[in-house]
Amino acid sequence: MKISCSSKHEIWNIPESGEALLAGYWSPEKGLVLQKSWVRWQEGKITLLEAADISYPFFCTSDNVFTWDSYYLMPGWLDAHVHLALDSLDFYQCLDNWSRPELIGMNIQNYLRHYLEQGIVAIRDGGDLPGFAWQAKQKVDSGEWIGPKILSVREAVQRKGKYGRFLGRGFNKIQEWRDLQEVFFAQGLDQLKIVVTGLIKFDTYGVVGPIQWRVEELKELVKSAHDRGIPVMAHASGNEGISVAIEAGVDSIEHGYYLTTEQLKRMHAKGIAWVPTVAPIGNILKYDSDRYSKQEKSVLTRILQGHLAKIQEAYQFKVSLGVGTDAGAFLVPHGDAFFDELDWFKEAGLPKDEIIRRASQGNAYIFGWPDFGTLKVGSAMNRLQLTSDPYDVTDRIHI
């Protein structure tokens, strides 16, 4: 089995059973434990995790004993929003490259290995029309490819001719969805993604692409997934689009630019998570690029400031906050951008322990994968990471 040593950007092979001395550990329940500790695992799962004393070496039960006393053990990260089929460099060139599946497959394998080297043990992919991410999920699950476990929406549901044509086939009317939904669900998916609105405009503050579904239609789309036990993530920004998504009962709102205080309160009341994906706008300002005009950067600065303020409000209102990067978008590279997103949560004023909880345990809740994002007896070793300092993650430089 494998475990990520994220501080070295390495993937280590470890036996199914073994034990190790640690510098300490971080868990969602205890925070950072600054005490040498002993971890023991059997058949890939932890059977003991507690403070070490001088007698422990004499109690070793395995021939596989490791000295990891310069490392801390902690849950692996989860990235709650990525697009494996995009390259973060040139959107249109990347779409042209989709005609070369061998190239896309090679790129995705490199992304997946890099994710795991960075301590990211699970990712939630937002879809692509050809199904590259779904194929990657299957290859990782079968052991053919090395990488984090993938939650895949396979393809998104959007109104045909509107934003999102690269994400899915699109449906003209709700009746077309009714006719084809059995075929759609039969192809396989982990969550349903619905595109509720278009993109935000970079040159004009407050303008968002049009809403694609009336609330009655969106409720029907959501119900079709919930009836099958499938959660729903909604791409939505702008006051009206977010309100429609909340009213329809989606499980998470992705992006959510221009979200209001009242909407945050309603989301908390209804148990709707928010994945704010700051990096796609923040990284344009963080890293020098001549791709956007002074006017566009001014608008993005205003959007960013409001977005960060709402993340702080969401934290105060106890809204379920997910850490997702939208990796594959321009200047949002796979793996590395995760730490940019942690930086943006730090900029929003969240304490480091809370950021780490949301990037691990909180994201696991949004994924619907309770076995991830935790560190306790019973946790799988391949869902954890080793690091020299659990708190150094928000101080890294990537691009």
Q: Name the nearest CA neighbour of 61 among 48, 44, 74.
A: 48
Determine the residue type at 387: T
Q: Residue 64 contacts by C-beta under 8 Å, 6 or more apart in sequence?
A: 14, 15, 17, 18, 19
Residue 259 and residue 239: Cα distance in Å, rounded? Answer: 6
In terms of domains, do 190 and 43 share one? no
Q: Residue 17 contacts by C-beta under 8 Å, 6 or more apart in sequence?
A: 41, 42, 43, 44, 62, 64
pLDDT of residue 315: 98
In terms of domains, do 329 and 298 share one? yes
pLDDT of residue 391: 86
In terms of domains, do 112 and 99 share one? yes
E strands present in the chain = 2-5, 10-13, 18-27, 31-33, 37-42, 45-51, 65-75, 77-82, 120-125, 149-152, 192-195, 232-236, 252-255, 273-275, 384-387
Helix (H) or strand (E) holding 137: helix 132-142
pLDDT of residue 58: 46
pLDDT of residue 399: 35
Q: Give 314-361 pLDDT, tens digit per residue.
A: 999 999 999 999 999 999 999 999 999 999 999 999 999 999 999 999
Q: Which CATH number do you get for residue 200?
A: 3.20.20.140
Q: Which CATH number do you get for residue 39?
A: 2.30.40.10
In terms of domains, do 189 and 313 share one? yes
pTM: 0.96
pLDDT of residue 61: 58
In terms of domains, do 83 and 67 share one? no
Expressed as residue numbers, the domain containing 47 is 2-76+375-395
Per the CB < 8 A criterion, the answer to whether 196 and 236 are in contact is yes
- Is the pLDDT score of 201 beyond 50? yes
Residue 325 and residue 314: Cα distance in Å, rounded? Answer: 18
Taking the chain, what is the end-to-end CA distance rounded to the nearest angstrom? 31
Q: Give 164-188 pLDDT, tens digit per residue.
A: 999 999 999 999 999 999 999 999 9
The residue whose two tokens read 């036996």 is 15
Instruction: Give me the count of residues in the chain.
Output: 399
In terms of domains, do 35 and 121 share one? no
Decide: residue 318, CB within 10 A, 0-12 exposed, 13-18 middle, 19+ buried. exposed
Other beta carbons within 10 angstroms of residue 230's beta carbon come to 17
In terms of domains, do 251 and 346 share one? yes
Strands 149-152 and 120-125: parallel
In terms of domains, do 81 and 67 share one? no
In terms of domains, do 144 and 209 share one? yes
pLDDT of residue 385: 98
In terms of domains, do 173 and 228 share one? yes
The residue whose two tokens read 């949301």 is 358
The DSSP bridge partners found for residue 274 are 253, 321
Helix, strand, or coil here: 135? helix
How many domains is the chain partitioned into structurally?
2
- Is the pLDDT score of 193 beyond 50? yes
Per the CB < 8 A criterion, the answer to whether 48 and 38 are in contact is yes
Residue 81 and residue 130: Cα distance in Å, rounded? Answer: 18
Q: Give 93-140 pLDDT, tens digit per residue.
A: 999 999 999 999 999 999 999 999 999 999 999 999 999 999 999 999
How far CA 287 is from CA of 154, 281, 393, in Å, comes to 31, 11, 18
Residue 105 and residue 103: Cα distance in Å, rounded? Answer: 5
Q: Give 24-66 pLDDT, tens digit per residue.
A: 999 999 999 999 999 999 999 999 999 987 555 545 556 789 9
pLDDT of residue 60: 58
Strands 10-13 and 18-27: unpaired
Query: Would you give the distance in Å from CA 199 to the centre of its chain?
Result: 19
Q: Give 361-387 pLDDT, tens digit per residue.
A: 999 999 999 999 999 999 999 999 999
In terms of domains, do 105 and 51 share one? no
pLDDT of residue 288: 83
Q: Give 271-307 pLDDT, tens digit per residue.
A: 999 999 999 999 999 998 889 999 999 999 999 999 9
- The average pLDDT across 142-159 equals 98
In terms of domains, do 62 and 92 share one? no
